[in-house]
Amino acid sequence: MEYKDVLNYLYEKTPMFQKIGVEAYKEGLDNIKFLDEQYGHPHKAYPIIHVAGTNGKGSVSHTIASVLQTAGYKVGLYTSPHLKDFSERIRINGTEISHDYVVDFTERAMSLIESQKPSFFEFTTMMAFCYFKDNNVDVAVIEVGLGGRLDSTNIVTPVLSIITNISFDHMKQLGNTIEAIAGEKAGIIKPNVPVVVGEAPANLRPIYDQKGSPVVYAEDFEYPPIDFELKGYCQEKNKKTIRAAIEVLKLQFDITDDNIKEGFASVVEKTGLCGRWQKIGDSPTVMIDTAHNEGGIRYIAEQLLDQKCSVLRIVFGMVNDKDISAVLALMPKKAKYYFTNASISRALPAADLQKSAMQYDLEGDCYSTVNDAYMQARADASPDDFIYIGGSNFVVAEVL
């Protein structure tokens, strides 16, 4: 089979949350434990750093990987979702998994897929674990897909757990209160394994403390300034989380201050991270960001308000399982909107988004495709305008 045929097979045979949403979510760890048994527990072959949280997981995971790479380690990195190609999810020292490995691994697993019917995430998690073992990585950074306690990645026993922050997202699966969501994320904490928590208001700290593992609260510490390649406002919080995590990792890995500086300064180059307050055009400035929930958009809205420009133009689309109202309430009112929808079944129709946006005095026209919206924004813009594209990973993915 060709690579594209294998991906089509997986999309058809293994339910994918990225495409269809909640219907793809399989609660429980039975499937992944069965797969783990079949493949001989590959994740036990290397130390793991396990990263959960509502926002910032990707930035934290990639930056820690960048620092470890700079320190000379061979680093596996497993993240989701992908923006352009599936292979982005599984990397070693920034290089994406080979298409040949994806094809071979899937072809050999077809009878298992047909009989066990794993979800897309369950199967590709096992693919990542095996790929890292087969390539003898020194360490792997594993990002949680959704939640923590029942996430497929949670069969690992890491050397460090990280919880970046907690805000409202995926409430159908994780609960309707911040405390409930925090409890699900805290499910990655393992006995006697240290955990770094990025943001933890007083009401959430007992949830982490009761697990009996050593907890480091990153916001309780101050670190000297460091140049970070990622310039989004949210990265100031992520920066502390990463610094606290690195201090714990220094107990097991040989990491110098120079490694830390270089890792922060070149995270995009070293890991291939994209979509985080990323400039993709000048005159007019065009910026993209994958923030897609209230917690992430809060920082984006603040940063957009601080932009010096003639006209702020916002190409915006969301998926239908997010808290649309909470996001729209934060968005700048003094902007020209180009409401759109990505080409997936989860996308909220542009007309519905426009109708909801009008309740918050956000004005603009509808476009049936992301490309149409983006092209119109470009056509309307003068060189000193600012175009922002976001609201959903899928909107950003289509622009890229």
Q: Same domain, yes or no, for 133 and 156?
A: yes
Q: In this model, does residue 7 exceed pLDDT 90?
A: yes
Q: Same domain, yes or no, for 231 and 303?
A: no
Rounded to an integer, the average pLDDT of 189-197 is 97
Q: Same domain, yes or no, for 325 and 251?
A: no
Last residue within a domain, chosen from 271, 286, 307: 271
Last residue within a domain, chosen from 242, 271, 300: 271
Domain containing residue 394: CATH number: 3.90.190.20
Q: Same domain, yes or no, for 64 and 197?
A: yes
pLDDT in tens, 41-90: 999 999 999 999 989 999 999 999 999 999 999 999 999 999 999 999 99
pLDDT in tens, 274-286: 999 999 999 999 9
Q: Same domain, yes or no, for 126 and 240?
A: yes
pLDDT the model gives residue 260 = 98
Rounded to an integer, the average pLDDT of 294-309 is 95
Domain containing residue 229: 3-271
pLDDT the model gives residue 174 = 65
Last residue within a domain, chosen from 271, 301, 316: 271
Domain containing residue 228: CATH number: 3.40.1190.10
pLDDT classification of 26: cutoffs 50, 70, 90: low
Euclidean distance between CA atoms 271 and 256, whole angstroms:
19
Q: Same domain, yes or no, for 395 and 246?
A: no
**Which residue would you say has higher pLDDT here, 18 or 190?**
190
Euclidean distance between CA atoms 269 and 279, whole angstroms:
15
Query: What b/e string do you get for 206-242 counting C-beta neighbours within 10 Å, with b at 16 or more?
Result: ebbeebebebbbbeeeeeeeeebbbebebbebbbbbb
pLDDT classification of 20: cutoffs 50, 70, 90: very low
Q: Decide if 7 contacts 86 (C-beta within 8 A).
A: yes
Euclidean distance between CA atoms 119 and 127, whole angstroms:
12
Percent of the chain with pLDDT over 70: 95
The count of structural domains within the chain is 2
Structure-token match 């056509």, residue found? 379
Q: In this model, does residue 217 exceed pLDDT 70?
A: yes
Q: Same domain, yes or no, for 263 and 282?
A: no
Q: Same domain, yes or no, for 96 and 230?
A: yes
Nearest to 309 by CA among 230, 396, 382, 232: 382
pLDDT in tens, 331-373: 999 999 999 999 998 899 999 999 999 999 999 999 999 999 9
Euclidean distance between CA atoms 205 and 207, whole angstroms:
5
pLDDT in tens, 241-276: 999 999 999 999 999 999 999 999 999 999 999 999
Q: Same domain, yes or no, for 250 and 324?
A: no
pLDDT the model gives residue 19 = 52
Residues 6+ apart with CB under 8 A from 43: 36, 129, 132, 133, 140, 142, 155, 156
Q: Which two three-digit tokens encode residue 73? A: 């380690």
Long-range interactions of 81-87: CB distance < 8 A, separation 24+: 81/18, 81/393, 82/18, 82/397, 83/274, 83/275, 83/290, 83/393, 83/396, 83/397, 83/400, 84/397, 84/400, 86/7, 86/124
Q: Same domain, yes or no, for 205 and 313?
A: no
Q: Same domain, yes or no, for 54 and 173?
A: yes
pLDDT the model gives residue 175 = 52
pLDDT in tens, 92-132: 999 999 999 999 999 999 999 999 999 999 999 999 999 99
Q: Same domain, yes or no, for 282 and 265?
A: no
Structure-token match 């995926």, residue found? 170
What does pTM read for this prediction? 0.93
pLDDT in tens, 154-188: 999 999 999 999 876 544 566 568 888 898 899 99
Q: Which two three-digit tokens encode residue 251? A: 């107990």
Residue 26 identity: K
